[in-house]
Structure 1
Amino acid sequence: MTPEPLWRHLLGDQLRSIRHRRGDTLEETARRAGISPQYLSEIERGRKEPSSEMIAAVAGALGLTLAELIRAVAGNLRGPTCRAGYALAA
């Protein structure tokens, strides 16, 4: 069985995809979000676990609400998602 992807990887992939569709550079999006281009790059590559405030800032910089971004990321999840929750609670 293939393990489910990590949230930070799905988030990063989605942010990069949206940014590319908009035709924005890392620098433009990072400036609007109030973060460094290097940090945004690390988020997009799934290397950083950003805070909810940071995620909201990047979503806003891409013209999205936090809810829209979360729905887009959640749409990329495969299989039952509750297994991990039960495993963590055990």
Structure 2
Amino acid sequence: MIDNPMNRAPRCQARSKRSGVGCKAPAVRGHRVCRFHGAGGGAPRGAAHGQYRHGRFTCEAIAQRKEIAALIADARRAAAAVR
């Protein structure tokens, strides 16, 4: 029998919801799961993403809107306390 390095590779840790059986595919190096279950995947962020249009929903824009909303809420609370 020929020793194939793929046989010694760590296996994917993903499990089926329905049967509970584990995936038997080799895990991607540096990850716990195989390429089918999301190891190192995902789309690029920001302008490099194919669906990027205007930047309104980027992480930075969302964080900025949350900060502004918090400042407005603080100002309203301070104004209510003065009355």
Q: Same fold (TM over 0.5)?
A: no
Of Structure 1 and Structure 2, which has the larger fraction of its residues in helix?
A: 1
Question: TM-score, normalised on structure 1?
Answer: 0.18
Q: Which protein is bigger by CA-based radius of gyration?
A: 2
